[in-house]
Structure 1
Amino acid sequence: MTSQFEYGSISSLQEIQRLGEIIQQCFGGSPNDWERYLNRIGAENFRVLRQGERAIAGLGIYHMGQWYGGKILSMAGIAAVGVPPEDRGKGIAYELLSRAIEELYQLGVPISVLYPATQALYRKVGYEQGGSFCRWELSVASIWLQERNLSIYPVSPINYTIFEDIYNQQAQVNNGNLVRHRAIWEQVLEPPKEEAIYAYLIGSENEPEGYIIFTQNREKQESAIEIRDWAILTASAAKRLWTFLGDHRSQIGKISWRGSPFDPFLLLLPEQTAKIIDRMNWMLRIIDVPSALSKRGYPMGLEAELHLEVRDDLLAANNGKFCLSVSEGRGEVTKGGKGTFQIDIRSLASLYTGFLTPQQLQLLDRLKATQEDLETARLLFSGSHPWMADFF
């Protein structure tokens, strides 16, 4: 199989055009959409699989970061995995992804994340569910907060650098949140269907405590606010923001936003009227086991060792025994150890992010461990439920 294909970067304008045709057919869109997408990610961050001189598949890679345990890890976001329909069912997507994962390992990238169109393919190359992406909806009439102690003022012109520091302060305490690629920010600030984008800062101009970016549209005879992005650093900012949204009730029927399935700011509302209207789980792959385990953060005050034995059918370097030693919130990994915590690379992904507990994975026959090791692992990988507000 390997000898039939060549994997690599885009090598010509003809390949750019061919990859655009593949992605447009697989995901919809126009040539203008493809040109905009290409420019955002950068042609150098796309990969193609060739058979002979013909490009038969491709994907894009977002090089960015992701927060775990209060620490940033380099992360490769895989997007736009495209194989034309006439070439499907031949193992081409598996070959493309396997080659990409091998490249990421050589580059020293510890983890990779993607949104699956189908789980079966990505599980074959070691990805597993790692966190949540949710879309919420709330009737504006149900808010009824009257907290106006903080100022809220519009931002114009709108530039993501105004909001980036506030966003990063919120992201660092939420497992799975991104250190956003510029293309993600541009996606946030691009209005759909030429709608106007509104942006506001909350608090003082010198030290804002939050922001909101949104559009207003009309759906089925009802006007709605779609929150493109928001970040809230204090309870006062959260109350002021809910009040601001509630003040739209005379003209706006509902609001929607993307976030965690366990949104803490909903606790401030008088009733449980917000509903999750869409939810999916993104998938993560551990690319480099020692690097991923040593670079994430761990609970302060916990001194512990976990003796893992990992199985990875794709990357041989991830196979074997590893001892994770944690002290003062930091992890150190050495080869060897007792291997009493036995787990495959996919299950390690769900444990690593905190998406599933070791006890839950054991119940599913996804790991073997002593009760002592299970409790140690539970403490090591505890934290907020992993989620992202960004789709790529």
Structure 2
Amino acid sequence: MDIRDLTPEDLDDVLDLRKRSFGPLSADDRERWRKAVLPALGEGRYLGVFDGTRLAAAARLRRFTQWWHGRPQPMAGVAGVTVGPEDRGRGVGSRIMRAVIGRAGELGDAVSALYPATTAIYRGVGFEHAGALNNVRLPAESLRAIRPSGQVKLRRMGPGDAAELMSVLHRVHGEARSSGPVSWDEDTWNLWLANEDDFLYLADDGYAIYRWKGDDMEVENVVAASPETLRALWSMIGSASTIAHEVVASVAPDDPVLWLLRERTKERVQQVRWMFRVLDVAAAVERRGYPEQAACEAVVTVDDPVRGGGTWRLDISGGSGTATPVEEPGVTLSVNGFSALYAGIPTRTLRLAGLMSGHDRHDQALDAAFAAKPYMLDYF
């Protein structure tokens, strides 16, 4: 079997694989999908495994920005991993994943993330569970009770507003020191902003994207930098409570809207788990943000059979970090373990799970430096 970049002529075969893996798409969804993937073909971000001329598997790398402790960096989002039914169980899935990991590194991405349909294949190539997309169900009436404070100008968004929306995201996630959220690239945002079934509203320091879903309202994104904008956006969504029974919203684990509700007892939350992988230790450490007060000097050995491991001295202080190659003993982590540590999973958890070994004298410092509550608001 051979691995090569996909071309526009391969897209019908990719759609056939998607149908066999995820079910059929409507005509409108197929057209929208084609528009979304065409840029990836020209950028070397869509790979396929071929058995002769037959497409056996495919996977795409999406261009994202991801924030870690408020600092943005490029992130390779792995999506559309499909393997033909007749080729499953033959190692084809692992082969396409190793190829996209290598390609992501070649393109300069230091970290990667994905939403798994199954854990084993992705864990086998270095991805580890890190965070979740949290979908909470709220009575629509409870949002209607959130009253606006002050005057906030809201306007409808559409294609062409992507740059301003992305600027808002950079401001909000930077000020909030967020870990995990992503932003689509500008072309993809403009494509999503053309969806006529979505309600899209933009303020100077926030925005909302929501839609009807049956008798309920589905909230994909509400992002706000100020209390006034936060209240204005959620109050507007709550105004649908005369018709909508519930609101299903993607929120951060500590989203402030949950503290604006008059009543909050039992909540129904669905967590869609995502996995994370460090591709380049030195670049990932340098690009990440850290708590200003955290200070850490530790030597870590990362075992990465796919990308090649090594040993680095981590120096973290003043909100920044570096990783310098060294030849001296330190704690040892699998690449899965280091990826989880990077995402804020405590060292004790990693040790008990068998992902970290060696002396523990730097564990508290590592926990303080990499502390995070990772989440996403977008599914891909």
TM-score, normalised to structure 1, is 0.87
Deviations 1:241-267 (A, max 9, x none): 343344433333221211223323311
Counterpart of 2:148 in 1: which secondary structure?
Answer: coil
Match of 1:205 in 2: none
| Unpaired runs of at least 5, structure 2 | none
Give yes or no for contact 2:36–2:191 (8 Å, CA) kept in 1.
Answer: no
Number of equivalent positions: 371
CA distance, structure 2, for counterparts of residue 35 and residue 59 of structure 1: 19
Instruction: Tell me how far 1:109 sits from its aligned partner.
Output: 1.8
Give yes or no for contact 1:309–1:341 (8 Å, CA) kept in 2.
Answer: yes
Give runs of aligned pairs for residues 181-200 of structure 1, distance below 5 A.
181-182=185-186, 184-186=188-190, 188-189=192-193, 191=195, 195=197, 197-200=198-201
Give yes or no for contact 2:211–2:218 (8 Å, CA) kept in 1.
Answer: yes
Question: CA 1:260–1:369 in structure 2 vs 1: closer, same or farther (change >3 Å)?
Answer: farther
Deviations 1:19-73 (A, max 9, x none): 2211222122146533421321323331111122322111111122211122222
Match of 2:96 in 1: 96
Question: Residue 164 in 1 paired to residue 166 in 2?
Answer: yes
Instruction: Tell me how far 1:301 sits from its aligned partner.
Output: 3.6
Question: CA 1:152–1:214 in structure 2 vs 1: closer, same or farther (change >3 Å)?
Answer: farther
Counterpart of 1:147 in 2: which secondary structure?
Answer: coil
Give yes or no for contact 1:139–1:274 (8 Å, CA) kept in 2.
Answer: no
Instruction: Tell me how far 1:94 sits from its aligned partner.
Output: 0.7
Deviations 1:211-230 (A, max 9, x none): 222223543xxxx2222322
Give runs of aligned pairs for residues 202-351 of structure 1, distance below 5 A.
202=203, 208-219=204-215, 224-272=216-264, 275-316=267-308, 319-351=309-341
Question: CA 1:292–1:140 in structure 2 vs 1: closer, same or farther (change >3 Å)?
Answer: same
Give runs of aligned pairs for residues 59-70 of structure 1, distance below 5 A.
59-70=59-70
CA distance, structure 1, for counterparts of residue 292 and residue 14 of structure 2: 47
Counterpart of 2:154 in 1: which secondary structure?
Answer: strand
Match of 1:141 in 2: 141
**Identity among equivalent pairs (%):** 25
Match of 1:153 in 2: 154
CA distance, structure 2, for counterparts of residue 127 and residue 153 of structure 1: 40
Instruction: Tell me how far 1:273 sits from its aligned partner.
Output: 5.1
Deviations 1:106-128 (A, max 9, x none): 33321111110000111111111
Give yes or no for contact 1:133–1:387 (8 Å, CA) kept in 2.
Answer: yes
TM-score, normalised to structure 2, is 0.89
Give yes or no for contact 1:324–1:333 (8 Å, CA) kept in 2.
Answer: yes
Deviations 1:79-120 (A, max 9, x none): 111111111111111111112212222333211111100001
CA distance, structure 1, for counterparts of residue 35 and residue 147 of structure 2: 44
Question: Residue 352 in 1 paired to residue 342 in 2?
Answer: yes
Give runs of aligned pairs for residues 352-371 of structure 1, distance below 5 A.
352-354=342-344, 356-371=345-360
| Unpaired runs of at least 5, structure 1 | 203-207
Question: CA 1:367–1:217 in structure 2 vs 1: closer, same or farther (change >3 Å)?
Answer: closer
Match of 2:131 in 1: 131
Instruction: Tell me how far 1:284 sits from its aligned partner.
Output: 0.9
Match of 2:4 in 1: 8
RMSD over equivalenced CA pairs, Å: 2.3
Question: CA 1:64–1:212 in structure 2 vs 1: closer, same or farther (change >3 Å)?
Answer: closer
Give yes or no for contact 2:276–2:339 (8 Å, CA) kept in 1.
Answer: yes
